[in-house]
């Protein structure tokens, strides 16, 4: 299969592929998603095949308007309406109870709930409208690898496996959406993202933070709760504080292979790095670091000779919570000592 690159003025062609039951990657404000008709079981099955993703992992349903959510979900309560008004379109995914038999178990993972999102990217909203159906949209990468923030990242992983990629440039945030479970008695954050818990609580009051991995026999309600995520081929370690970087340079100099360093400019400019070190800038702060994290991991993943990657850690405040959530999963909780 030839994977075509569609520009925003070619959305009709991209939508035609969706209508045929084929897969088209689309950009959002967070990462690139892998789009298929959420109402077409065969198309949804192709998503799992292309990604190499276990089929018990539910998929987020991307919509262009609230009326589509109301078509599939149980009546929306007041808190849900307030959140939609405040954060949609935007990087907030909400899990809602479904009406009976409206979406395939291939989409829901066999649950009676589904995750909905209204992305803040006009090209993708136009694609959904043109296709005339909601789109499932997990990150458009090989399962377990860092999420794609550029069309070329998608092409690297999925060339020949999908019909096309809607290329609208780099994403804005770089980490996936916040996932908020509204199907329970207490609103619960299952995955932190660009919409922080503090921002949500300003709208609806207290929320529960429940970031965890489920067991082998459990069905996760949201992506990233069960399987390894965001991992490049090389081993990843987190550098927790500035005082450790001198030790990092000494450690790197003693490694037989190449070492990748992902850090802010202040760190990169403060040290004389050994010749076997390749560096990648995370910018100036945690916000820019969140945007650059996946791109940096992917950059080093393309270098087969890089055996270790060391990444700057941040405090878990604000967007730092989402950044450290992804980084800890990428590193398998390994910290430089």
CB atoms within 10 A of CB 259: 24
53 is in an annotated binding site: yes
279 or 218, which is more confident: 279
Kindly report, residue by residue over 171-192, the tens digit of the pLDDT.
999 899 999 999 999 999 999 9
316 is in an annotated binding site: no
The pLDDT value recorded for residue 210 is 76
The pLDDT value recorded for residue 222 is 67
Average pLDDT over residues 45-67: 90
Pairwise CA distance, residues 120 & 144, whole Å: 25
Q: What Cα–Cα distance (Å) separates residue 107 from each residue in 42, 150, 210?
A: 11, 25, 22
226 or 129, which is more confident: 129
Residue-wise DSSP of 295-314:
HHHHHHHT-TTEEEEEEE--
At residue 209, does pLDDT exceed 70? Answer: yes
> Across the chain, where does the E strand assignment appear?
4-6, 24-27, 32-37, 60-62, 92-97, 113-117, 135-136, 164-166, 178-181, 188-191, 208-209, 235-239, 258-263, 277-281, 306-312
Kindly report, residue by residue over 244-292, the tens digit of the pLDDT.
999 999 999 999 999 999 999 999 999 999 999 999 999 999 999 999 9
Q: Domain ranges in the chain?
A: 4-209, 235-331
At residue 77, does pLDDT exceed 80? Answer: yes
The pLDDT value recorded for residue 16 is 98
Task: Write out the two tokens for 319.
Answer: 């967007």
At residue 218, does pLDDT exceed 70? Answer: no
330 is in an annotated binding site: no
At residue 231, does pLDDT exceed 60? Answer: yes
For 4-209, CATH gives 3.90.870.10
Contact 234, 296 (CB under 8 A): no
Phi and psi at residue 245, in whole multiples of 5°? -70, -30
303 or 20, which is more confident: 20
Average pLDDT over residues 36-45: 97
At residue 219, does pLDDT exceed 60? Answer: yes
Average pLDDT over residues 34-55: 92
The pLDDT value recorded for residue 214 is 55
230 is in an annotated binding site: yes
229 is in an annotated binding site: no
113 is in an annotated binding site: yes
Average pLDDT over residues 301-319: 92
Q: What is the architecture of the domain spanning 235-331? A: 3-Layer(aba) Sandwich (3.40)
191 is in an annotated binding site: yes
pLDDT band at 206 (very low <50, low <70, confident <90, very high): very high
The pLDDT value recorded for residue 228 is 56
67 is in an annotated binding site: no
129 is in an annotated binding site: no
Q: What is the pTM of this model?
A: 0.89
State the Cα angle at 3 between 2 and 8, rounded to 5°.
Answer: 135
The pLDDT value recorded for residue 301 is 86
């Amino acid at each position: 299969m030839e994977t075509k690159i569609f520009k925003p003025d070619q959305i009709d062609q991209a939508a035609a592929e969706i209508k045929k039951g084929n897969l088209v990657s689309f950009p959002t404000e967070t990462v690139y998603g892998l789009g298929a008709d959420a109402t077409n079981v065969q198309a949804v099955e192709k998503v799992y095949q292309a990604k190499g993703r276990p089929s018990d992992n539910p998929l987020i349903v991307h919509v262009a308007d609230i009326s589509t959510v109301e078509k599939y979900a149980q009546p929306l309560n007041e808190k849900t309406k307030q959140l939609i008004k405040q954060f949609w379109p935007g990087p907030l995914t909400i899990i809602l109870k479904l009406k009976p038999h409206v979406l395939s178990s291939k989409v829901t993972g066999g649950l009676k709930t589904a995750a909905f999102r209204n992305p803040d990217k006009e090209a993708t909203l136009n694609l959904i409208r043109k296709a005339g159906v909601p789109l499932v949209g997990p990150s458009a990468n090989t399962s377990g690898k860092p999420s794609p923030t550029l069309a070329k990242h998608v092409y690297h992983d999925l060339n020949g496996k999908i019909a096309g990629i809607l290329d609208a440039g780099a994403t804005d945030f770089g980490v996936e959406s916040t996932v908020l479970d509204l199907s329970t008695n207490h609103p619960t954050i299952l995955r932190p993202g660009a919409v922080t818990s503090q921002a949500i609580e300003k709208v609806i009051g207290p929320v529960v933070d429940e970031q965890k991995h489920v067991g082998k026999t459990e069905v996760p309600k949201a992506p990233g709760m069960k399987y390894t995520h965001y991992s490049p081929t090389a081993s990843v370690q987190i550098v927790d504080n500035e005082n450790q970087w001198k030790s990092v340079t000494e450690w790197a100099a003693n490694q037989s292979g190449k070492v990748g360093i992902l850090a802010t400019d202040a760190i990169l400019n403060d040290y004389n790095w050994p010749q076997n070190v390749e560096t990648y800038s995370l910018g100036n702060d945690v916000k820019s670091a969140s945007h650059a994290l996946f791109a940096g991991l992917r950059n080093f993943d393309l270098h087969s000779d890089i055996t270790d990657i060391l990444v700057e850690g941040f405090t878990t405040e604000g967007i730092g919570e989402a950044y450290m959530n992804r980084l800890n999963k990428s590193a398998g909780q390994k910290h430089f000592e």
